[in-house]
């Protein structure tokens, strides 16, 4: 009898320990950070395999490029879908459903018999990955407020920055060792690990706080963006930030190729620049006023956008160009944390839809500017885009109606 009671007590203590761990800040930071990093993982890990995939399917490189476009579209659309669904049914079950879809899509990508099916599955993989991206932000907004929310988004931003570094470099190593299909096997395993972590994650949205799911939710969400300046202003700022990042991602390989860098060296430079975002995100999370933080970051981004453009137009040395880009990325990282915190703090009651619109605008902005880089001379076009986008962000932050929101 005593042994049975002892076993029962041990089981209860173990369950209590697991519950405490799953509710701990460290566990939440880790799982939410990794979920939000699905974007870099699904987009960047397989980039080095483009030539190999084209040879495998005996197709043109442009067809393989379409798989990246399909994934980007999926990431944008998925945030709207899973944002609205998570507001209606809670965070946990939609997140689990998105991870199941992600695992299935990853498997089919790995075993696709044709490039057409591969492209279609990349769309669904992006759509499913968007669930992790959007719902992780919503869970953070459900559980934290004020300075605690800013710190959480800072940690998430740092994990994202590290993921942006690790994804292409690790993906390249996997491709060199085991081929392109191994990347999708690895993505599948990551999805399974995230699924197990999410099973242990407590539900963060009470039933009383959930909203009805109907088509008008999307209309209401767009109205929210147009009417609530405290949400729309940092959201548009985030769009400008993502545009700056995509301009550099689209032009960087060609510019660095002019400087004579190898593909491996180019990946390393992108990784170093991503570290700048991670560092700045961590520093910005400790600031008391996110509005002031974004204002300072706006000024810094504008200054170093001009500096980067000058290095390109004057065709200065690589290291001068890289120092300018690195400094620009430091301020971009600060804007990422500040804009995310301000936007999500402004729409706590509609965290799912707010997170969806916020993320979608970022990807849409990036998708708009990326093709523009290829128009005309790449040095001139890139310089103009850097200056125009950073100037637009600075102008928006200087408007009188763009009121201060202090995170204390």
**Domain boundaries along the sequence of the chain:** 1-145+167-213, 214-403
For 206, the token pair is 């009470």
pLDDT of residue 407: 45
More confident position, 260 or 328: 328
Question: Rounded to two decimals, what is the model's pTM?
Answer: 0.70
Q: Is 214 exposed, middle or buried (0-12, 13-18, 19+ CB in 10 A)?
A: exposed
Of 284, 300, 288, 239, the residue nearest 404 (C-alpha): 288
Tens-place pLDDT, residues 112-138: 999 999 999 999 999 999 988 888 888
* Assigned CATH for 1-145+167-213: 1.20.1250.20
63-67, long-range: CB < 8 A, 24+ apart = 63/115, 63/119, 64/115, 66/119, 67/115, 67/118, 67/119, 67/122
Gap between the Cα atoms of 309 and 325, Å rounded? 10
Gap between the Cα atoms of 334 and 26, Å rounded? 22
Residue 100 near residue 88, CB atoms below 8 Å: no
pLDDT band at 406 (very low <50, low <70, confident <90, very high): very low
Tens-place pLDDT, residues 64-121: 778 877 888 888 888 888 887 888 888 889 999 999 999 999 999 999 999 999 999 9
Gap between the Cα atoms of 42 and 257, Å rounded? 25
Residue 13: other Cβ atoms inside 10 A: 10
Mean pLDDT of the chain: 80
Of 240, 205, 234, the residue nearest 83 (C-alpha): 205
- The two domains 1-145+167-213 and 214-403 share their CATH topology (first three levels equal): yes
* Assigned CATH for 214-403: 1.20.1250.20
Of 269, 240, 406, the residue nearest 335 (C-alpha): 240
């Amino acid at each position: 009898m005593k042994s049975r009671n002892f076993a029962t007590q041990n089981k209860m203590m173990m369950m209590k320990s697991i519950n405490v761990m799953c509710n701990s800040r460290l566990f939440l930071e880790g799982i939410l950070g990794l979920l939000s990093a699905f974007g870099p993982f699904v987009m960047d890990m397989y980039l080095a395999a483009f030539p190999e995939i084209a040879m495998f399917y005996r197709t043109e490189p442009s067809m393989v490029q379409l798989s990246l476009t399909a994934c980007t579209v999926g990431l944008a659309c998925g945030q709207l879908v899973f944002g609205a669904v998570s507001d209606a049914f809670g965070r946990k079950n939609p997140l689990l459903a998105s991870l199941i879809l992600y695992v299935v899509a990853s498997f089919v990508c790995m075993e696709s018999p044709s490039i057409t099916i591969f492209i279609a599955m990349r769309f669904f993989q992006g759509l499913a990955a968007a669930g992790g991206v959007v719902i992780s932000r919503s869970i953070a907004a459900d559980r934290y407020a004020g300075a605690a929310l800013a710190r959480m988004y800072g940690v998430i931003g740092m994990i994202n920055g590290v993921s942006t570094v690790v994804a292409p470099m690790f993906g390249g190593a996997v491709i060199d060792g085991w081929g392109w299909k191994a990347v999708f096997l690895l993505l599948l395993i990551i999805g399974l690990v995230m699924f197990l972590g999410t099973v242990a994650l407590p539900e963060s949205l009470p039933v009383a706080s959930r909203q009805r799911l109907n088509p008008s939710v999307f209309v209401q969400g767009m109205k929210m963006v147009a009417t609530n300046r405290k949400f729309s202003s940092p959201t548009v700022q985030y769009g400008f930030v993502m545009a700056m990042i995509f301009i550099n991602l689209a032009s960087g390989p060609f510019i660095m190729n002019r400087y004579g860098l190898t593909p491996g060296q180019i990946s390393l430079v992108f990784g170093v620049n991503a570290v700048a975002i991670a560092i700045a995100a961590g520093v910005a999370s400790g600031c008391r006023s996110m509005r002031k933080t974004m204002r300072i970051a706006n000024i810094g981004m504008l200054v170093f956008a001009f500096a980067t453009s000058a290095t390109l137009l004057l065709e200065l040395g690589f290291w001068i160009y890289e120092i300018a880009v690195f400094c620009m990325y430091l301020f971009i990282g600060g804007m990422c944390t500040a804009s995310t915190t301000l936007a999500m703090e402004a729409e706590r009651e509609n965290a799912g839809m707010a997170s969806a619109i916020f993320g979608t605008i970022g990807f849409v902005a990036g998708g708009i500017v990326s093709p523009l880089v290829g128009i005309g001379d790449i040095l001139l076009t890139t310089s103009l885009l850097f200056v125009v986008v950073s100037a637009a962000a600075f102008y928006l932050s200087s408007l009188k109606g763009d009121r201060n929101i202090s995170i204390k």
